[in-house]
Structure formats: C-alpha cells, structure tokens
Amino acid sequence: MGIEGQLKIALRMRDGRVEAVDIGSSRPVHASRVLQGRSVDEALGMLPMLFTICGTAQSCAGVRACEQALGWRPSARLEGLRDALVRLETVREHLWRILLDWPGFLDEAPQPNGMSEMLALHKALRQALIRGGDPFRIATVAGAQVTPVPAPLLERLQLTLARAVFGMDPADWLDIEHPSTLSKWAVEGVTVAARLIDRVEGRGWSDLGRCRVAALPPLEHTPLDSLRWSDAFVERPSWFDDSCETSCLTRVESPLLGRLGERHGNGLLVRLVARLTELARLAGGLCPGEGTVVHGDGHNPGIGHSIAARGQLLHRVKLNGERVAAYQILAPTEWNFHPRGVVARSLAGVAGTREQMEQQARLLINAIDLCVSYELSID
C-alpha cells in the first residue's frame, strides 16, 4: 500500500435494504508532517512526489500557502497559469475514470490505448505551459513567464475527446440542453460515455444515490484561518457541524444539469453528466488567463487553496523563518468519504440483488470519486 492508503466501505443489510454504511480509512492524512523542518523549497519539491494523485493541485495549494506565510504576492498571470495547469490535470483525471473505469460497468474492456494517447498529449500540453519555469516554486514568483499554448495541441485535444468521449465536438455536446436530447445521444451509443448513460437510464438508476447534502462553499474567499485546524478536524472535517460535499457536481452548472437536477436531484445520472460537462468545458479553457490573487498578505500560518479534480484542497503551513514548523493538508476525500458524508448517504439508497447492489455501490463511489483504492463489503 502506498502513501495514499485505502478506504473500507461496508454496507450492512436487513431485508434487502441498507441498514447502515460504515466507512473506515487508513489514509495517512497527517503524512505532510514529514515536511516539518524542511526548507520551503525542499517542501514544495517533495509535495508532488509524496502525493502523486493530483500532484499539480497539491503543488498549487502548497505554494500558495507558503507565499501567504512569507508575504510573497504572485502576479495574476502567474496565478492564471497555475489554475490552467490544475485544470489540465483535472482533464486527465476525468479521462482516467471515463476511459479506464466506465467500460467495466458495461462489461467492456478498458481503453488503455486511448488513455495512453491522452497521457502523451497531457505531457505535451504541460510542457508547453511551463516553458517559462516551474510556477509552483517560490523562486519563480518574480520572473515566471506565461507562454501561450500552441493551437495544434489544443486542436488535438478537442479531436481526441470528440472521438473517445463525446462522439462529436465537445463544444457541440455542451449545446445539449434537454434530457430528451441527452437520451438520444446516449441511445446512439457511439462512445463508452454514451453507452453508460444509456445503461443507467435503461435500468432506472438515474435517481440512484439521491440524497440531501449541502455543498461545501467556495473556500478561497472564506477566512480559512478561522477553521478548527485540529488533527480531528483534518481527519473528519465539517462545516457548521455538517458533512458537506465538494466534487465535480458541486462546482458545475448548465441548463442540462439544471433540468436533470429537477428530476433526479444529485442522483447517479446527474453526477455522470456533471463529469462530462466539466470535461468538455475544461478542454476549451486551458489557455492561461489572469487568476485571482487571494493570498500573499504575510499571514503565518499561511493557507493555500486549489480546485483539485475531486474537490477543494487546502494546505496550511506554519513557518519558522523559511523552514516548515507545521504542515497540514485537508483533502476532498475527507469531506466526501466522511462517515456521515455524501458517499455514506448515497449508498444508503442502493437496493436489489446482492449483485445489483454491488454494481450500484461501485458506480456511486466512482461517480463521486476518490483518490485511493477501496474495499467494498456487503453483509
């Protein structure tokens, strides 16, 4: 087992229904303590090696936390470049799910060739974006150059997504505004994404996992130093005593999602469509713009924020001079897989035969998304 750890999710049944959902975690949520005593530069260099899942988002939150603690203020263009790199990483993470996981729910083979193509393209796009220097190191703040992304690479991305995911130009897919049009696209079954949507609708699982759960508000504009940064809070966070959700669904809106939400709430179909919607939008939004500078005021401890693929990510660093005295990370998995969080509430609605319940549970876990492996048991 790597540093990411594992989740154990158990459904306890009675009379064919879920009586209770137990979620246990061996995630080393305090692994960032290994950064204590390191210089800021050393700590930032170690982050993407320690946390290989969403390493770009981790680096982004980390450098922002350190900048705040040091009183360094990056330019809006540098912040825009960082955001573009995080968005690029999110494209890759969405494609991991769609091309490698979704086929299994259809008894189809994964699509490693398509994923390999996307990984090569991801590497080329990333290299094009960071030609001016590593934007996640303090030394880069003053002199980083933001370079445009070559148009041919962006065109390749659009064409690849059209072929592998949408069966059409992603921008055209975003023009789908009505559930009936979505169903027509799904029935045609040109891609694995379309076929999974059709399967979910055909089995009557569109409402699956529907539950009441509050969305975690955007934290970059919140006085984050007021949060209770205890070990217990990092392990099981809450917002005004509620276990909130932070995910793709909580940050994406569209006319189609609005209409689907009126019918199915936050059920499985809406979650799948939210992932596709964000992917299509991100594919057209990788050119760096100007980001919002919300830190750099010299507040120590410093707190950095980024929008990772699976939700909002926070890093909190306390410095002693230019060395790390304390380091904490609050990841989206701790919100979403909280014992009373959105996953537990969603899984309470699975029903049917044992085989059906297992497939429903795995679909929901995949749709809400977690960054580590898990074991599922049904008793």
pLDDT per position as a tens digit, 2-51 = 466 789 999 998 887 899 999 999 988 899 999 999 999 999 999 999 98
Task: For residue 106, count other CB atoms closer than 10 A to its CB.
Answer: 13
Kindly tell me if the per-residue pLDDT of 149 is higher than 90.
no
Look at the chain and count its residues: 379
CATH H-level, domain 6-136+149-285+303-378: superfamily: Cytochrome-c3 Hydrogenase, chain B (1.10.645.10)
Structure token digits, residue 29: 């949520």
Closest CA to 231 of 31, 52, 70, 73: 31
Closest CA to 283 of 98, 113, 144: 98
pLDDT per position as a tens digit, 171-209 = 999 999 999 999 999 999 999 999 999 999 999 999 999
Annotated binding site: 329, 371
Annotated binding site for Ni(2+): 371
Kindly tell me if the per-residue pLDDT of 285 is higher than 90.
no
Q: What is the pLDDT, as a whole number, of residue 109?
A: 96
Q: What is the pLDDT, as a whole number, of residue 2?
A: 41
Which contiguous run of DSSP H or E holds residue 124? helix 112-129
pLDDT per position as a tens digit, 60-119 = 999 999 999 999 888 888 898 999 999 999 999 999 999 999 999 999 999 998 899 999
Annotated binding site for Mg(2+): 329
**Domains of the chain: which residue ranges?**
6-136+149-285+303-378
pLDDT per position as a tens digit, 299-343 = 899 999 999 999 999 999 999 998 999 999 999 999 999 999 999
**Strands of 174-255, DSSP E:** none
Helices 112-129 + 76-95 axis angle, to 10: 170
Mean pLDDT of all residues in 263-279: 98
Name the more confident of 317 and 371.
Answer: 317
Q: CB of 269 within 8 A of CB of 205?
A: yes
Q: What is the pLDDT, as a whole number, of residue 102?
A: 98
pLDDT per position as a tens digit, 344-361 = 999 999 998 899 999 999
Q: What is the pLDDT, as a whole number, of residue 241?
A: 87
Q: What is the pLDDT, as a whole number, of residue 134?
A: 87
The mean predicted confidence, pLDDT, of the chain is 91
Distance of CA 39 to the CA centre of its chain: 29
Closest CA to 372 of 116, 86, 8, 115: 8
